[in-house]
Amino acid sequence: MKSLRIGIIGDYNENKHTHVALNQAIEHCRLNINFPLEAVWIPTDAIPVNPSNKFDGLWVAPGSPYKNDDAVYKIIRWARENNFPILGTCGGFQYMVVEFAQNVIGIADASHEESEPQASQLVISKLSCSLKGQQEDVLITDRSSWLYKIIQKDKITGFFNCNYGVNPVFQSKLNQAPITFTAFSISGEVRALEIKNHPFFKGTLFQPPLESTPEKPNPLIMDFFRVVHALGD
């Protein structure tokens, strides 16, 4: 039986509960899939230029700013341009937005406030209210989206651990093809994105692992693994 190998882009820290939760969520899924699954953390200062000969898909984990931000932006761009499956959660979502702004929208100096607070084009900025360790209602506004397809609900509870998100000043400019913003807070701030004509390019500001359990593995993570495995058949 074909196995699945996922590269987790991030600087693993056993003291970060979000990293531990991500590993635990993978174990929850492993108990509920019918193929072997291996997940390997890839430090951001050791990301391969072309990971396709080692991995079937990538997951950009929380934990920004990373040791090597530029390498994270480059691997996101590579995955986007080469139709390689990639999931971004929390920091991964944020870096997907910045990469898209820089290389597709044409905002060459698009930046992230956490790592470049003095930059002029902060497409990722501090949230109006911190979501560090918080839960929040998330509205899935696009019924053709991946989120709605998997969850089949217009509203979910998102589990967060972040202080940064899409800057509302840039939101309408960023919400254009091939990116689609698919979910929002009650007040209209972006919480998820996807590229619909890509094999798998999805990002969520909320963190699915934080609500995964052995009895009920998170369905979004489960679908990510199943889709990537099917792509390799």
Tokens of 110: 């698009």
What is residue 108's predicted lDDT score, i.e. its pLDDT? 87
What are the sequence ranges of the domains in the chain?
4-231
Sequence-distant (6+) residues with CB within 8 A of 19 are 10, 12, 13, 61, 62, 63
CATH architecture, range 4-231: 3-Layer(aba) Sandwich (3.40)
> Amino acid identity of 226?
R
- Look up the pTM and report it: 0.97
CB 78 within 8 A of CB 95: no
CA dihedral 17, 187, 166, 97 (to 10 degrees): 90
Q: What is the pLDDT of residue 2?
A: 85
**pLDDT tens digits, one per residue of 110-145:** 999 999 999 999 999 999 999 999 999 999 999 999
Phi, psi of 102 (to 5 degrees): -70, -45
**Coil vs helix vs strand at 161:** coil
The string of pLDDT tens digits covering residues 142-199 is 999 999 999 999 999 999 999 999 999 999 999 999 999 999 999 999 999 999 999 9
Give the span between the Cα atoms of 21 and 172, in whole angstroms.
33
